[in-house]
Structure 1
């Protein structure tokens, strides 16, 4: 419906072009196309939109592939952003043509979440994806990513953020892809498989998040990298698939190139991976910039994992915040004495957490090794302000005894307070 003045003038049609474009861009694509029926003048205004988004808000429930074809066919000019997400496809037919079309239209932001119903399998990305030379943001989900054997021709020279979810990699190592993105700042790989080696050579990288299966990982030429999260899965520790066993240290190789890291997050399988080989007393490099350390699902009865934890402690003198969640490992040795003896040695090794202020421990079971670990932290953190403890739900009956024992421990910090939370109780402590 037109909006007119008392003199009969059409107000909306005579708005500045940039305002009309902003109105159309903020409409679901289905509604933007419907503006073509307002008048002859409005028939193709939507066709010059620089952003085309097909998502759940588009309210398109049928004939999706046909509609996308028609929109791209009629579109005029460059397309800066194209998004297809939150919608189930009956098949992947036509997607290759869409990507080829977008590669010729200076696409800068591409989001493809491919959800094919009926067990159709994952969609294999075409080589034309690598012809999208102007890409600055690329997000893919549910695809097979075939990496060319060499970096020649990849050419994501402007890419700053790469997010890949539920991706199967085929072909060369991902290092070829990463090194061909010289401006890359954020790299997120979640629920991936098909990779063996991950070599990160990215001079402008600031943040990396990895969650998937791999055998090797190393960082080189990452001078700006400050935020690292690694959650490894797959490849059993004892099996032939798990390499770098023996004397070689995965810990040194994996973390050796993170000179300026400020925040580090490691999962349980990652810790086991880092524990392979000889574990040094401390790392060759001191990480003076690391302030926040998050260790997820740590098995306190595993001596090698605990050795990695203390190796990290001795290598991060400026650590201010430590968060750990515990996990029982049914396959771990039942004899806790080696771990307890190791902790006793650390207890007498001197103060090594001089700037630690906050500790959060979740899902602990009240085992002796866990309590000894907490005792050691309290005794070696002279400026500690808060220690938050939340047990696993199965051990609530032992909670009061745990509290009493914690309160008896000596504290190096006169300001340290211990807060005990019931399972699932939220803690807002900073």
Structure 2
């Protein structure tokens, strides 16, 4: 019995020593993959674990963290504020005891934390002093103003803000010299400060603007920019110095009938074809309709010589100008390999008269995905054209719109009857 206890004791000590003496890099990887509160609890294992925890470079306070803090508490009128107060204390305690530089600080405020009192100013002030590299802040209730300390975090390489009010930077702001990724979602810009902000990011490679307000004039003049994503409504959009841009997604919802919405100059899309080497291009929302109404087809054919993937979404084939625009875009991308089209169902789609060039071929296109098919004559004519010019096509994926089983079967049969220039092409109906 005594020998058994001694053996068990030695085994426990051996296991404890094994955990305590793990290489530092292994401990760092373990802490990085654990929820933040569990990672904090691991610091009791040994002095080594505690030291590594206090210098842990990834602090992620996400929805899982909030749920952990909330526990099984019963909802009440000031429930969100109470949880937020507790969260704020925990985050402050962890952050203000941190040693050394910080690679990433992630903090989200969930929808139920209404009236939350969060120490963002103190946190950002502290983060600026420990050379934080990445900051992700999201707030999903009434917008609050982001503290100006965000502009003091000079070592940032990545910044993502969601649902805040953004005021102009202070006068002594020297810029984000190392920032290469900027994502702004549902941000309210004050005093037309977007241009000033972008001009202060000389190494910016990735820019994402989604559902932002206060953007009266957006001029993309960023020589280092490689990827651009814009979603929402803009009053003005133009491109200047975009020599390195290779990935762009424009999903705009400007209303055509609104005169103030007709602002995207014809030169803008022309610049995309001539001023950079785009490899990925997406036009979504009502942007295709907008460009078509603006007469962009008069400049066709453009030449996107380097484009590998083209996505045109939320198309209304009931509009002749949109229909012609789509044909023109396809004929402007001779080296495209991947094509994605999505259409919106319309009533009584007319038969459009399109004179296409039978001699034009897409010798690199191997994959097509077409969603929202209803079987209209305009859709079938377009699909027939794509199949006829795609000599290397391997797969054509399609998904029907809101159709009953009988109508969907009829559409599938009509598509299967279409002639294909490529003998390898397979038509596959997606569920």
TM interval, short-chain normalised: 0.7 to 0.9
Mapping for residues 370-385 of structure 1, pairs under 5 Å: 370-385=379-394
Change (3 A) 1:307 1:149: farther
The two structures have a TM-score, normalised by structure 2, of 0.82
Contact (CA 8 Å) 2:158, 2:181: kept in 1 or not?
Answer: yes
Q: Which runs of 5+ in 2 are unaligned?
A: 1-8, 71-82
Q: Measure, in 2, the Cα distance between the counterparts of 1:237 and 1:8.
A: 69
Shift, 1:205, TM fit:
2.4
- The answer to whether residue 50 in structure 2 is matched with residue 50 in structure 1 is no
Shift, 1:13, TM fit:
5.1
Q: Measure, in 2, the Cα distance between the counterparts of 1:21 and 1:374.
A: 53
Match in the other structure for 1:288: 305
Q: Which runs of 5+ in 1 are unaligned?
A: 426-430
Q: Which residue of 341, 348, 363 maps to 1:324?
A: 341
Change (3 A) 1:194 1:154: farther
Shift, 1:298, TM fit:
0.9
Query: Residue by residue, what CA displacement relative to the aligned partner does 1:346-400 show, whole Å, maximum 9, x if unpaired?
Result: 2x56425343333222111111111111222233333333333322132542344
SS at match of 1:192: coil
CA RMSD of aligned residues (A): 3.3
- The answer to whether residue 371 in structure 2 is matched with residue 367 in structure 1 is no
Q: Measure, in 2, the Cα distance between the counterparts of 1:401 and 1:7.
A: 70
Contact (CA 8 Å) 2:27, 2:49: kept in 1 or not?
Answer: no
Match in the other structure for 1:238: 257
Match in the other structure for 1:428: none
SS at match of 2:306: coil
Contact (CA 8 Å) 2:151, 2:169: kept in 1 or not?
Answer: no
Match in the other structure for 1:146: 167
Match in the other structure for 2:239: 219
Aligned length: 405
- The answer to whether residue 423 in structure 2 is matched with residue 415 in structure 1 is yes
Q: Measure, in 2, the Cα distance between the counterparts of 1:409 and 1:73.
A: 67
Shift, 1:416, TM fit:
5.2
Mapping for residues 9-20 of structure 1, pairs under 5 Å: 17-20=24-27
SS at match of 2:393: coil
Q: Measure, in 1, the Cα distance between the counterparts of 2:29 and 2:368.
A: 47
Contact (CA 8 Å) 2:192, 2:214: kept in 1 or not?
Answer: no
Change (3 A) 1:194 1:276: farther
The two structures have a TM-score, normalised by structure 1, of 0.82
Higher helix share: 2
Contact (CA 8 Å) 2:361, 2:391: kept in 1 or not?
Answer: no
Shift, 1:303, TM fit:
1.5
Q: Which residue of 198, 203, 208 maps to 2:223?
A: 203
